[in-house]
Amino acid sequence: MIPMQTTKQADKLIVSDNPVIPFIEGDGIGKEITPFVQKIIDAAVEKSFGSKRKIKWLEVLAGEKAYNEVGTWLPEETIEAFRKNIIGIKGPLTTPVGEGIRSLNVALRQELDLYVCLRPVRWFKGVATPLLHPEKVSVTIFRENTEDIYAGIEWAAGTTEAKKFLNFLQDEMGVDKIRFPESSSFGVKPVSREGTERLVRAAIEYAVKNKLPSVTLVHKGNIMKFTEGGFKKWGYDLAEREFPDQTFTEHRFNQIKAEKGLKKAVEMYNEAVDSGRVFIKDVIADAFLQNTLLKPEEYSVVATLNLNGDYISDQLAAMVGGIGIAPGANINYMTGHAIFEATHGTAPDIVGKDVANPCSMLLSGVMMLDHIGWSEAGKLITSSLEKLFDNGYGTPDLTRFMENGKPLSTYEFSKKIIENL
């Protein structure tokens, strides 16, 4: 078999039987979990397809390993490898807090314009959670990945840049609501119509394709009228303009209610739902966080901005057992580029102890297999995890909360996953 690049033609990925997939080992526990994740994926692919298909793994550098070996945190060669091969996967990367390098994860997303952070959240039977009914949680989050305050447009208090920005706000824009102007740092929150539309479009297409009942626009438009409020407005506009026969919006419901009364609005809503159309609704972010705890079954697909999405992803992950079993991917649906990733940090406190949980990165690998059309292998991995969790097996971070938990080392757990494929 000759290793080949993955390409995209029109709206379809062209994946060979021996695709080259770049990977970043990651920092901290990354060097422990990544080799096991690769072994499990390789075993599942072999069991599903025999010798017909095999991944050609290509290591590329980022983070501490890159800095130690080539003197830079994110080499251009790494970005180019992901750009060239379309699909990739990565372990957790170090991000210093407060100063130093900016987030490498954010840099990769921005360089490749990976505008969707996709986070599917589900519960595995046997995994302990704080909820009475975790089985009701099945939510896929579409988090905007390139805008909002994560764009990195900010200036530290006391700098020349901060002073210049303050002068602009006060002198040119007439802003007089900064409580302590001389000691303030400043950040800018860009939110665009184009960025909103491509995110919401992807979320609606996902809901339609998977026959899911709703897409919820989560925002803080009650406070940030033109950024978060713009996101809400542009999301509704996009749904009504591009998906008139596949969706029914809460915005339209309210229009009908105002013009023809509640009874008619309810009637048209019921007709839309009965015909399989996706209901597009919105909710304020803080209300959403409460609602997901009280009635998670009301949400299936969520579209939200970058900062809200960060909070939402972690809360929903905690609701089903923790970020250690939460997968994620960063995707550009137009170019086809996608990087699948461990969603947790580098966990320096457990490095070298052989107790790291590989499931976040592994389940991201399952997402990757589904994405390239090798879902048979992904289903084997998911089924194996379901069996093991249901019988109380897992790494210590999971089993400590299980009623009859049987803790295994990273090596033992990974081996058991392969044995149960």
Query: Catalytic residue positions?
Result: 150, 220, 286, 310
Asked if 263 and 270 count as a contact pair (C-beta separation under 8 A), the reply is: no
- Compute CA distances 385 → 23, 127, 142, 213, 362, whole Å: 23, 11, 25, 27, 10
The residue length of the chain stands at 421
DSSP string, 117-163: EEEEEE--TT---S-S-GGG-EEEEEEE-SSGGGG--EE-TTSHHHH
Task: Give, in degrees to the nearest 5, the angle at Cα 35 between 30 and 37.
Answer: 90
**Is the CA virtual torsion 216, 218, 222, 227 positive or negative?**
negative
- Compute CA distances 39 → 36, 44, 393, 398, whole Å: 5, 9, 19, 21
- 218 token code pair: 């989560």
Could you tell me which of 283, 278, 229 has the C-alpha nearest to residue 249? 278
**Is the CA virtual torsion 24, 28, 30, 35 positive or negative?**
positive
The total of other beta-carbon atoms located within 10 Å of residue 161's CB is 12
Measured distance CA(257)–CA(289) in Å, rounded: 27
